[in-house]
Chain A
Amino acid sequence: MFENIRADMMRAHRCTKIRRPIDVLRLLWSSQGLQALVIYRLGRWLNNVRKHQFGWAIAFPLYPAYRMLSVLVRKAYDINLEQSADIAAGGLHIYHLGGIEVRNCRIGPRCTIFQRVKLGSAETKNGGLVIGEGVYIGPHAQICADVRIGDGATIGAGSVVTQDIPPRCLVLGNPSRVVQRDYDNHTIL
């Protein structure tokens, strides 16, 4: 868990190393998305720990605390990272707050999402939404179908994606269209 949180913080801090403890506090203070992500990681860790032989002894007392924190984040920031989502280490950088819902999906490393992004559908049949590595998802975008988003794709603001997206594409509009192939989103991630 702590390795994952370290990776998330480094992603948010845009550097390879967090030098001082005050940096951690400043990051947590300024970024509500990071707080939500830390609490999500705690929940994932508790779920894993529970499966070990005496893991329930750790998970049982900590679980109410996790539930309270997750409800708090959901109500206060409106950032809903459900446990059904599988976010890779250093996976997500959440800008701003409000209306973020992530569920039933698998997210690769180095992704960026913004406010009012909805990822994943409520009911899934085959594995759910899969998002590759280094995907940029702009504000108000919705991906509510079980599709595959290729590595390095860029999904513009307000677009509603219902089809598979090949890697390194720029996608805009509702319904979404591939505007440009071989688009480099390295600078904006």
Chain B
Amino acid sequence: MNRLIKDIDAVHQRRWPGRPVSLVSRSMLVACSPSLRMMLMYRFAHWSYLKLQNGRPWARLWRIIFIPFAPIKMAFRIISKSEIYERNEIESGVCFPDQGYIIFGPRKTGTGTVIGTRVTVGKGHADNGSPIIGRNVWIGSDCVVYGNISIGDGATLLPGTVLSKSIPAGAVMRGNPARLVLPNFDNSKLLMLQDADAMQYVTEKWGA
């Protein structure tokens, strides 16, 4: 429950910066934000996955209890057109895109990470490992991140990056294959911006 509140507050902070957080505004946000609903669904799926682990007490009973929730999960997957793998750990305060269309399966994701729409993060077929994403990473739209790699804290992936190598903290990457644009960049301002504003910020800084 604590984690859910943190998730909601992170989205709240991005959407309405400086606005006081109350129960009403939180519930409004849950009602109107598809990204938050995706996050809540992931939390439930992750919790149920942990319950169903072999060797856990009452695992068989939980398996029966969770059967009716399978259609709900499938409905969420189809409505948001995205798959978020429940066996991987996502820390609280991660922002998903409202538009959906993400296939998201990194081993671990740090807090404050912002993910754009149409992003694929997952296992590489060549080395059979999935990425570890650090804290406060900004992943732009249309990015593909795959393979057994790690992304440092505060890294920035500009839109359209295809990344298959580890990058250090604070790096800005762009292109396919990904190339380094800036070694040290403070992306705290970029993390706070919403979709169109973030796009404008990126185009002003690095061109289209």
Shortest distance between the CB of B178 and any CB in chain A (Å): 10
Distance A172 CA – B146 CA, assembled complex (angstroms): 13
Say whether B120 contacts A115, CB under 8 Å.
yes
Chain A residue, CB-CB nearest to B77? A97
A157 at interface, CB cutoff 8 A? yes
Distance A98 CA – B83 CA, assembled complex (angstroms): 10
A173 at interface, CB cutoff 8 A? yes
Say whether A97 contacts B176, CB under 8 Å.
no
Chain B residue, CB-CB nearest to A175? B176
Q: In the assembled complex, which residues on chain A have CB atoms less than 8 Å from the CB atom of B175?
A: 174
Shortest distance between the CB of A58 and any CB in chain B (Å): 31
Q: In the assembled complex, which residues on chain A have CB atoms less than 8 Å from the CB atom of B142?
A: 140
- In terms of DSSP, what is the predominant structure of the interface of chain A? loop
Distance A97 CA – B100 CA, assembled complex (angstroms): 12
Give which listed residue, B74, B125, B144, contacts A158 with CB less than 8 A: B144
- In terms of DSSP, what is the predominant structure of the interface of chain B? loop
Q: In the assembled complex, which residues on chain B have CB atoms less than 8 Å from the CB atom of A56?
A: none
Give which listed residue, B82, B144, B164, B176, contacts A98 with CB less than 8 A: B82
A15 at interface, CB cutoff 8 A? no
A66 at interface, CB cutoff 8 A? no
Chain A residue, CB-CB nearest to B142? A140
Within 8 A of A (CB), among B121-156: 125-126, 142, 144, 146
Chain A residue, CB-CB nearest to B79? A76
Give which listed residue, B103, B126, B176, B177, contacts A139 with CB less than 8 A: B103
- Please count the residue pairs between chain A and chain B whose beta carbons lie under 8 angstroms apart in the complex: 59
Q: Known: A140-B144, A157-B162. Is A76-B78 also a contact (CB below 8 A)?
A: yes
Say whether B81 contacts A77, CB under 8 Å.
yes
Chain B residue, CB-CB nearest to A32? B78
B101 at interface, CB cutoff 8 A? yes
Give which listed residue, B74, B77, B101, B144, contacts A99 with CB less than 8 A: B101
B12 at interface, CB cutoff 8 A? no
Say whether A96 contacts B83, CB under 8 Å.
yes
Say whether B103 contacts A96, CB under 8 Å.
yes
A25 at interface, CB cutoff 8 A? no
Distance A77 CA – B101 CA, assembled complex (angstroms): 10
Q: In the assembled complex, which residues on chain A have CB atoms less than 8 Å from the CB atom of B162?
A: 140, 156-159, 173-174
**Known pairs A76-B78, A98-B81, A174-B162 / 8 extra A-B pairs, C-beta < 8 Å:** A29-B74, A78-B81, A97-B78, A98-B118, A116-B118, A139-B120, A158-B162, A159-B176
13 pairs, A vs B, C-beta closer than 8 Å: A32-B78, A96-B83, A97-B77, A98-B103, A99-B118, A116-B101, A136-B125, A157-B144, A158-B160, A158-B162, A172-B177, A174-B162, A188-B126
Q: Which 4 A-B pairs have the closest CB atoms?
A: A158-B162, A188-B125, A174-B176, A98-B81
